[in-house]
Chain A
């Protein structure tokens, strides 16, 4: 109960200080009056009685002070009065306040924004119930390099495991929806019956898959995303039980997912995973992505041990068994893994910015403290202790920091919106959680902490220095002789600022050089005026080679006739459209020959190379005459030609490929093209004519004289004219694809570059401020110098040399620090090392130039000093 009284008294002295003071006054006055009464009773005359009583009390005000001290809430009183006084002082120097708050708002704002991203992506739990029990399961150390779980293993685990609450497996599966309006290609998943229960998701409408549906021969059923349900089925609740056509088969809709459900990107359709006996135990076994929910209290180690046991117990005998180790990772780690680096680099960058901003404000405070030196000295002379003065100055800086934090929050809020809008998909993890970046309690806590920390950081150096004013010299007018130690603090701050911005600029410079290097890589094709789109022919309607070839020929002829189209070609997978088809073979066709590959395999139409703009090096392109009836031919990419026939002419040579009807003849060699992105290594590529080998996938490349996007509708119509149930999807210009492939890199560059520029700006402002201060402080000296015959140039040199010496020192330290630090970003670089000399030199030059300008401007003002005015001002 004691603390209640203490708290009550504390709150009283804080919020009812006037009344508390009044009561104290009454209490002491009562005592005084009694003393007077006593003295009167002793026979003193009234005047003397009063005087004697006052003497006995020893000064009412002093007694009051002692009582206030005794209550122990003095510091709070002081704090309140400091905080009450500080805004008035700040308002009196608006330019100081504006610059300081703006610096802090920038520093705290970017920190809060980046922290809110870290919070959303790394700290917040996954949006499923009990996310800590969700684990990702795969295998490591297998000699076939596969990490996915085999279907048969999954089935054994789900039947025999005791440590798992639930286990789920899935495969990606794209499905074509027909029969409701225009056909559409939809991204989906094939999932085991345990998929939604493992995640803990319940349906918005309808039900989850039954285990009888998720097996070979089970009924075809489907679950829709809410967006698909809204878009294609008008949010009709009656969609449950309705039959829809997917890949030309009837599927009954059994459920609709809630809108917030999210798992690995934008998917719209879920169908049961039904493995037949061939896929479970045959030669081509299904490989599945697998995750599970641990039973409460079960550790990952226990689960791994059990899964290992089950796997060896049931599968040792199966012929396709591969040695490997089961690995369990928290699902969260799996989803955000690999995104740590970017976030850590960003966090580091914003921390440096905050330090630079704090150094700026500390310098401003130092300059202000010099002006207030007299005020502080008077307070000290009147008995304010050192700690009292330090507390006053810290209260001021705390208030300043909070002001900065307030403005910083507004800035951070807008930055998170921008961040969400400009970040390319998947930059921040497999699940698109950028949208969930927001300012919550944790972020607010971080901001508060950052602001208080920076308040101490920039408030303490001036507070410690100026709380011990040299009374005599400060009280004398001017007092310029005592500046030297303060000068040193100022210099250290300035060097720190310059050094830190050098580090950030070098980081940004390396990213910029890498970006330019990537853009300068020739993709091997011409991306202008090129429309691309994908078509996936279903096996149901196009079961054989002849029908597929017929479709493609018809389509390409029809598209080529569209006005404005120059060339129309097709290949199974265009560069930058996704997964490559990979093949390996031996150079001489025997099992023990030299292994060639992995090689990208493309089945191309005759006009494909012309449409994409791939240059022919030697030989010829495919022709309409290369058909199923003629002997097989192939075209090699330059790099593959060098692997297969180093230093020889490959045209006319045979390559023993196992998957054609005989060893094909090389008819041509073309340039290498970039497959996955210009910063990826070139992959050797092998082309066969679509007419000689085909699968149901094709990507069209349409080169036109018109803006490529304008052709999209026309091409789509041509497809529907040939097959009204055939959707096209992934319609993009080649330019967009190229652009998209560098989007993550550009995003990183934009963020780090923006932060580096901010750092440069703050540091330049800092240099400018310090030199300006020096110029005003030394106006007197300059006046004397000029009166003695110094020219403007000499004065200019005086200040510029001083500023530049510090800047050079900062640059040197920054370069050394960067040499050690840029290593952390080595994997983000392309075509340069982390210690790229050009970048380092360029950044040094930029910094020296900027600081030179920041010194020059205020120094020039010094030359305008009128010697007479300056000398007389004393």
Chain B
């Protein structure tokens, strides 16, 4: 496995929220989706995914529900709450400002 890019603090939260904005998913699916969508650049370590999910649930940005997975097994599905939707907008805006600012610095015109 190539060395995965480490995620900045808080970025994982943003990615999780973004994934869940599409549709409710369980932890495994979130990890896979992040991996695929980033062309395998971003690999979410299991060590950080589940604590992050539980923290977001505790913050009431996402909520959990048990459901049946595509492999016909019980899995815990997370979905975005309205507070989470607002948080996603806010965080996205912040991220964009931040990445623009960083780009300006490291790629001077």
Contact residues of B between 25 and 52, Cβ < 8 Å to A: 26-28, 31, 45-47, 50-52
A557 contacts chain B at the CB level, 8 A cutoff:
no
Shortest C-beta distance, B14 to chain A (Å), equals 16
The reply to whether A30 and B75 contact each other, CB–CB distance below 8 Å, is yes
Please tell me if B76 contacts chain A, counting CB pairs below 8 Å: yes
- Contact check, B58 vs A6: say whether CB atoms are below 8 A apart: yes
Task: Report yes or no: B27 in contact with A31, Cβ–Cβ below 8 A.
Answer: yes
Q: Evaluate contact between A9 and B51: CB separation under 8 angstroms.
A: no
With both beta carbons as reference points, the residue of chain A lying nearest to B66 in the complex is identified as A23
Cβ of A72 and Cβ of B58 under 8 Å apart? yes
Contacts of A56 in B (CB 8 A): 46
- Residues in A neighbouring B66, C-beta threshold 8 A: 23
- Interchain CB contact under 8 A, A72 and B60: no
Q: Is the CB of B54 within 8 A of A30?
A: no
**CA gap between A69 and B63 in the complex, in Å:** 18
Q: A5-B60, A30-B76, A31-B27 are in contact. Are A67 and B54 (CB under 8 A)?
A: yes
Identify the closest chain B residue to A37 (Cβ): B71
Asked, given contacts A27-B27, A30-B69, A58-B46, whether A70 binds B75 with beta carbons under 8 Å apart, the answer is no
Q: Does B50 contact A67, Cβ atoms closer than 8 Å?
A: yes
Q: Is the CB of A30 within 8 A of B26?
A: yes
Chain A residues, Cβ within 8 Å of B51:
63, 66-67, 69-70
- How many interface residues does chain A have, given as a range? 20 to 34
Contact assessment for B76 and A70 in the assembled complex, using a CB-CB cutoff below 8 Å = no
For residue A64, which residue of chain B has the nearest CB?
B50
Is the beta-carbon distance between A57 and B75 smaller than 8 angstroms? no
The reply on A34 being an interface residue by CB < 8 A is yes
Q: Which residues of A contact B69 (CB under 8 A)?
A: 30
A71 adjacent to chain B (CB < 8 Å)? yes
The answer to whether B73 has its CB under 8 Å from any CB of chain A is: yes
Interchain nearest-CB distance for B84 vs A (Å): 10
B57: CB under 8 A from chain A?
yes
Q: Which residues of A contact B55 (CB under 8 A)?
A: 70-72
The residue from A2, A9, A66 contacting B50, defined by CB atoms under 8 A apart: A66
| B-side contacts of A30, CB under 8 Å | 26-28, 69, 73-76
In the bound assembly, the distance between CA atoms of A479 and B50 in angstroms comes to 43
What B residues does A66 contact at CB under 8 A?
Answer: 47, 50-51
Given contacts A2-B83, A30-B69, contact A63 B46 (CB under 8 A): yes
Residue of B nearest to A7 (CB): B60
CB-CB under 8 A from A736, the residues of chain B are none
User: In chain B, residues 72-88, which have Cβ atoms closer than 8 Å to a Cβ of chain A?
Assistant: 73-76, 81, 83
Query: How distant is A59 from chain B, measured CB to nearest CB, in Å?
Result: 9
**Chain B residue with Cβ nearest A72:** B58
**A58-B60 CB under 8 A given contacts A30-B26, A30-B76, A70-B52:** no
Residues of A within 8 A of B27 (CB): 27, 30-31
Name, among B27, B46, B69, the residue most crowded by chain A CB atoms within 10 Å (CB to CB). Answer: B46
CB-CB under 8 A from A681, the residues of chain B are none
A interface footprint on B80-105 (CB within 8 Å = 1, 0 otherwise): 01010000000000000000000000
Where chain A touches its partner, the secondary structure class is helix
Give the distance in Å from the alpha carbon of A1 to the alpha carbon of B86 in the complex.
Answer: 14
Identity of the chain B residue whose Cβ is nearest the Cβ of A56 in the assembled complex:
B46
**Cα–Cα distance between A5 and B59 once the two chains are bound (Å):** 8
Q: Nearest residue in B to A10 (C-beta to C-beta)?
A: B58
Known: A2-B83, A26-B74, A30-B74. A70 touches B54 (CB 8 A): yes
In the complex, A623 has a CB within 8 A of chain B? no
For chain A, residues 36 to 73, give those with C-beta under 8 angstroms from any C-beta of chain B: 37, 56-58, 62-63, 66-73
Q: What residues of chain B lie closer than 8 Å to A37, measured between beta carbons?
A: 71
User: Which residues of A have CB within 8 Å of B26?
Assistant: 27, 30
Whether A31 and B58, one on each chain, are in contact in the complex, defined by CB atoms closer than 8 angstroms, is no
A187 contacts the other chain (CB 8 A): no
Assembly CA distance A73 to B46 (angstroms): 21
Contact across chains for B28 and A70 when beta carbons are under 8 A apart: no
A1: B residues at CB distance < 8 A: 60, 83
Q: What separation, in Å, do the CA atoms of A767 and B76 have in the docked complex?
A: 61
Among B45, B47, B63, B66, the one with the most A-chain Cβ atoms within 10 Å of its Cβ is B47
Identify which of B47, B57, B71 contacts A63 (C-beta below 8 A).
B47
Partner of B76, one of A3, A23, A57, A62: A23
**A33 in the interface (beta carbon within 8 A):** yes
Among the listed A5, A58, A71, which residue makes an inter-chain contact with B54, where contact means beta carbons less than 8 Å apart?
A71
Determine which of A9, A31, A62, A69 lies in contact with B57 in the assembled complex, contact meaning CB atoms within 8 Å: A9
Measured CB to CB, the closest approach of chain B to A25, in angstroms, equals 11
Q: A583 on the interface (CB 8 Å rule)?
A: no
How many angstroms between the C-alpha atoms of A588 and B46 in the bound complex? 112
Q: Are B50 and A28 in contact (CB under 8 A)?
A: yes
Report Cα–Cα, A5/B79, bound state, in Å: 14
Which 7 A-B residue pairings sit nearest by Cβ, starting from the closest? A70-B51, A2-B60, A5-B60, A70-B55, A66-B51, A70-B54, A67-B54
5 A-B pairs in the complex with CB atoms less than 8 angstroms apart: A1-B83, A37-B71, A56-B46, A68-B54, A70-B54
Which residues in B have some Cβ–Cβ distance to A below 8 Å?
A: 26-28, 31, 45-47, 50-55, 57-60, 63, 66, 69, 71, 73-76, 81, 83
Starting from the known contacts A34-B71, A58-B45, 11 additional A-B residue pairs (CB-CB under 8 Å) come to A27-B26, A30-B28, A30-B75, A31-B46, A31-B50, A37-B71, A56-B46, A58-B46, A58-B47, A70-B58, A71-B58
